[in-house]
Amino acid sequence: MNIKNIILHNYRNYVQLDIDLSPNINIFVGYNAQGKTNIIEAVHFAAIGISHRTRNDSDLIYWQQNEANINIKFAKMRIVSELKIILKKNQRKQLIFNGENIKQKELPGLLTMILFSPEDLMLIKGSPLQRRRFLDIELSQISLLYYNQLVQYNKILLQRNNLLKKIKENNKLINMLDMWDEQLAKSAAFIVDKRLKNVDKLNKLAQYTHAYISGDKERLEIKYNMCKNNINLSADIKYNQLYDWYINNLKKYRKNDIFKGSTSIGPHRDDIYFFINDIDLKSFGSQGQQRSAVLSLKLAELELLKNETGEYPVLLLDDVMSELDNNRRNSLLEFLQKKNIQTLITATDKSLFDDNGKNNFFIIDNGKVV
């Protein structure tokens, strides 16, 4: 995957930006609040249709303007394509791929990327929501079927929760839960089946990467935790086993769910656990160990997407290099250069990088490249 050109019009603080990128490492340098992250955000938005910084698309439109455009030309499997996104205030975004309008559900996987930001350094000790979102973004770029099933699951979950609240006031509606339980169980089993297989692959890749980063002193292990599970979880578990478990346990916790007005089990409640040498990294790991584990996870994610799609995704490193110590920073840059992974990096300090002719520098000043 290789981005050739980015054009932004009335996007954030860019009235007009038109830049060609190197197929290797591209570094955007400037003071804070000059617009470096806006470029990273635009690529992220083009890849999955949402920003990692806001849920309101109108926030992306330049002040006092009614419309913004993102236009990205990229090569995938050596085939050059063009993706254009038109944002209008109080209207749905328009997605155009190679001149044809497409729907949101068709977007994930066209332009694949991995984002590594300072927030990701909190991935291990942060909330389960962050870890679930990490998995869902990755899997959605690998499989449109997963993305669409995830959207469907959230719709079913909303309907079931609404019904639970109504049942609390009118118990005669309780029989309607059987229909929603069956739909939820089918969707949940599909999602968890895919997540388990994905975590198993990530675990193997991250173990190899982390052994390299730690000098073979640490063994990283990643495990998927299914909320309130009482079955042996592994990548070999069958869809039918997961479906049966959900059917039985949705009934088991039904009374509690009605009381609370929300569904207590499902993929929306699950989590991922990290261990270093069999020690829980979230509870007992040092900050350095946690950061090394996240770095290993991101590098493993790169390899996994390559294995699944046939090529490396674009890597977005948003203000993360200064957060890593010299050893981790050098290991990361060495890995990226060795693998020829196209990378977009934002930084305030140019001295963090070698000016060796291999790195492509852009100086960003108040929404302009100077």
Between strands 94-97 and 100-102, the pairing is: antiparallel
pLDDT digits (tens, 9 = 90+) for 263-307: 999 999 999 999 999 999 999 999 889 989 999 999 999 999 999
Q: Are 5 and 73 in contact (CB under 8 A)?
A: yes
- Residue 357's pLDDT band, with cuts at 50, 70 and 90, is confident
In this prediction the pTM is: 0.93
Q: Are 120 and 129 in contact (CB under 8 A)?
A: no
Secondary structure class of 140 (helix, strand, coil): helix
- Residue 143's pLDDT band, with cuts at 50, 70 and 90, is very high
Residue 182 clears pLDDT 80, i.e. is over it:
yes
Residue 356 clears pLDDT 80, i.e. is over it:
no
- Residue 196's pLDDT band, with cuts at 50, 70 and 90, is very high
Return the pLDDT at 326: 85
pLDDT digits (tens, 9 = 90+) for 327-342: 888 888 888 999 999 9
Q: What percentage of the chain exceeds 90 in pLDDT? A: 86
Interatomic CA distance for residues 236 and 102, integer angstroms = 36
pLDDT digits (tens, 9 = 90+) for 158-181: 999 999 999 999 999 999 999 999
pLDDT digits (tens, 9 = 90+) for 65-116: 999 999 999 999 999 999 999 999 989 999 999 999 999 999 999 999 999 9
Interatomic CA distance for residues 235 and 148, integer angstroms = 22
Q: Are 364 and 42 in contact (CB under 8 A)?
A: no
Closest alpha carbon to 207 in 275, 116, 142, 139: 275
Q: Over the range 24-33, which residues count as b (16 or more CB within 10 Å of their CB) and which as e?
A: ebbbbbbeee
Q: What is the DSSP string of 49-107?
A: SS-SS-S-GGGGBPTT-SEEEEEEEEEETTEEEEEEEEEETTS--EEEETTEEE-GGG-
Residue 61 clears pLDDT 90, i.e. is over it:
yes
Return the pLDDT at 296: 93
The full length of the chain comes to: 370
The long-range contacts involving 302-305, CB below 8 angstroms and separated by at least 24 positions, are 302/114, 302/339, 302/341, 303/205, 303/209, 304/138, 304/198, 304/201, 304/202, 304/205, 305/112, 305/114, 305/138, 305/141, 305/142
Average per-residue pLDDT in the chain? 94
Return the pLDDT at 200: 96
Return the pLDDT at 303: 95
Which domains are assigned to the chain?
Answer: 1-112+313-370 (3.40.50.300), 119-311 (1.20.1050.90)
Residue 123 clears pLDDT 80, i.e. is over it:
yes
pLDDT digits (tens, 9 = 90+) for 199-249: 999 999 999 999 988 889 999 999 999 998 877 788 889 999 999 999 999
**Looking at residue 214, what DSSP letter applies?**
T
